[in-house]
Amino acid sequence: MATIAPERLVRAASLAELRAAGRLVVHVDRHTLCLFADGDDVYAVDNRCPHMGFPLHRGSIADGILTCHWHHARFDLCTGGTFDQWADDLRRFPVELRGDDVLVDVSPLEDPVAHQRERLRDGLERNIPLVLAKATIALVEAGPSGIDVFRAALDFGVERRGGGWFRGLTTLACFMNLVPLVERGDRAVALYHGVADVASDSANEAPRFPLDPLPGDAPEPARIARWFRRFVEVRDAEGAERAIVSAIRAGASQTELADMLFAAAADHRYLDGGHTLDFVNKAMEALDVAGWEFAEAVLASLPAQLAGAERMEEANSWRNPVDLVALLDDAFERLPAALEASKNGAAWADRNALVQTVLGDDPTAIVESLLAALRDGATEVDVASAVSFTAATRIARFPTTNEFGDWDTALHTFTFANAVEQGMRRSPSAELVRGVFDAAMSVHLDRFLNVPATRLPRPDGNGDPDELWGELARAFDRQQQVDEAAGLAASFLGSGGEAKRLVAALGSALLRENRNFHTIQCVEAAARQYWVVGIGAGASEGAEKFGHELINRANFGLTVRVWGPHALSIGYVLSTRDARVPAGDDRHQSVETVTLSYNFLGHTRFGAVEWRPAEMPAR
């Protein structure tokens, strides 16, 4: 038995009194303890059941097991360990007997944060919402950024879900992006929703068994990228996964990886209703937060979705009555020339005209206007941003007389367009520009969802922001208040209300409802468009300047040959991310990682530092 330092012991009760009563509730140094006399042994435990706080002195003991009578959670009285993972272990306090005195040690736990990390993993593995909620709250209190919670859920999701990146991980990334924008009291709730959706989405799924990279020296990233796209083309998810992990292990840059994935996501039209490219973008945004040293596990979760996604070439709506796929194929043949012409340095100023054309009903005119914009000096980001704005307009002008499922259709277009734009801002490429055209065609297909088009709200600039904010909060509690809420939000901003406060209110309204994946996507994409990208065409004169994200990464690596083709490598990675949100909390993150790995070198005189003296024979 471990010896307890005398200075840590506090008298709790009389041993005679305890044996006479069998159990006693005592208060020691702000702790409420229950003392049990079970045979010749004495135990001291927290009197609150760790499940939901029921007083354990009202429980029962049989054969050394303490049972709480509320939900029948069972605990080993000797160790405090639970037999029910939804309950958590019971805190047990060391006891020492001196004569008639029962002395207990109520010293603080050595590492309560480590225990909560373990409980978070337990909740993820068993999909137990209450365990996830309690662990998330405790970990956010310990680290307000929520990075620990986010990384743990990200790591679990990409490891556990055999089908790869899907709804749960996207929800997690969306809420992590929203964390700096919601009220501080809502941040743990936001992370909980993301973590719980990862657990729910992974439950009952077959686990994913990761593939190792190719042995020996990997080919150059450009060749691996060609292989990757070819494997996705023929729906070979395993081949694609091995290609991308080989590229990562071979040192492909973030830009090379982004280009590889976005090109494959844009090789076919509007994959899986827009979800696939959005998943690729969200995976990269997740790495921006968690650190790109997790790229191998995270990006390896994408090929299953890329290879298995529905391609709109197979959809009737993209083929009839107008063959939009054939129209786009023709445009893509002319795209390289348009991109080359865009380098002429001309200033492009026809954004509003492009927006109106894309919102029109002539797909040929839409395609030609996009090509013309590029020839006239518009950058890839310029056209992507304009199309994102048209997709948002479809939602803003969506009448509530439509079916709710129709709103999902418009939402898919918007989140896809936003993902294309974010990808373009990360790494513009001719391959990804095809996604801009896809988004424009989807906006075109959604045109009848604006019949009749809801009028955009006209803000009342003379209201009281506080009163308007209160009315908006009350509108969220009533059904069929969509247009009214939009008008209140517009008037709140028009009357000088802080955009930060409005976004936080939208976040709070989102968090208090049952999770709806598409609504989460919409709110997160709208917040990113407003804050990070800019408001776009039609913004009010007093619109705030948009924010920015700056991501830097420094790598250092050294490989030393130890014996023949066997070598050890040490790597150091420093990743920093600075995000500025106007009128919001700036996010500054820094992650340092040191790795030690074994390498098998394909040639005994290539790729490593020869550290042996010249007179020593080579091995």
Domains of the chain, residue spans:
6-105, 112-202, 221-308, 315-450, 465-533, 548-600
Residue 183 CB contacts under 8 Å (≥ 6 apart), including other chains: 504, 507, 508
Q: What backbone phi and psi angles, to 5 degrees, belong to 74?
A: -115, 140
Token look-up 């020839």 returns 375
Separation between Cα atoms, residue 194 and residue 225, nearest integer Å? 32
Residues in a beta bridge with 599:
567
- Distance in angstroms (rounded) separating the CA atoms of residues 193 and 198: 9
What distance in Å separates the CA atoms of residue 411 and residue 409, rounded to the nearest whole number?
Answer: 5
What's phi and psi for 465, nearest 5 deg? -55, -40
Residue 63, classified by CB atoms within 10 Å of its CB into exposed (0-12), middle (13-18) or buried (19+), is exposed
**Which stretches of the chain score pLDDT less than 50?**
1, 536-553, 577, 581-585, 587, 603-619
Strand partners, 10: 104
How far apart, in whole angstroms, are the C-alpha atoms of residue 148 and residue 139? Answer: 7
Instruction: Tell me the CA distances in angstroms from 161 to 207, 210, 281, 601, one per residue in order.
Output: 5, 11, 19, 33
Closest C-alpha to 393, from 431, 362, 430, 356: 356
Q: What confidence score (pLDDT) does residue 558 get?
A: 72
Q: Does residue 240 contact residue 306 with C-beta atoms inside 8 Å?
A: yes
CB 505 within 8 A of CB 471: no
The highest-level CATH class for domain 6-105 is mainly beta
pLDDT at res. 597: 65
Looking only at the bridges linking them, the beta strands covering 41-46 and 92-93 are antiparallel
What pLDDT is recorded for position 570?
78
- Which residues 6+ apart lie within 8 Å of 199 measured at CB? 123, 124, 125, 127, 128, 129, 132, 153, 156, 168
311-341 pLDDT per residue, tens? 999 999 999 999 999 999 999 999 999 999 8
What is the 3 state secondary structure string of 219-231? CCHHHHHHHHHHH
Both tokens assigned to 533: 């990208």
The pLDDT value given to residue 542: 32
Residues 120-177: tens digit of each pLDDT? 999 999 999 999 999 999 999 999 999 999 999 999 999 999 999 999 999 999 999 9
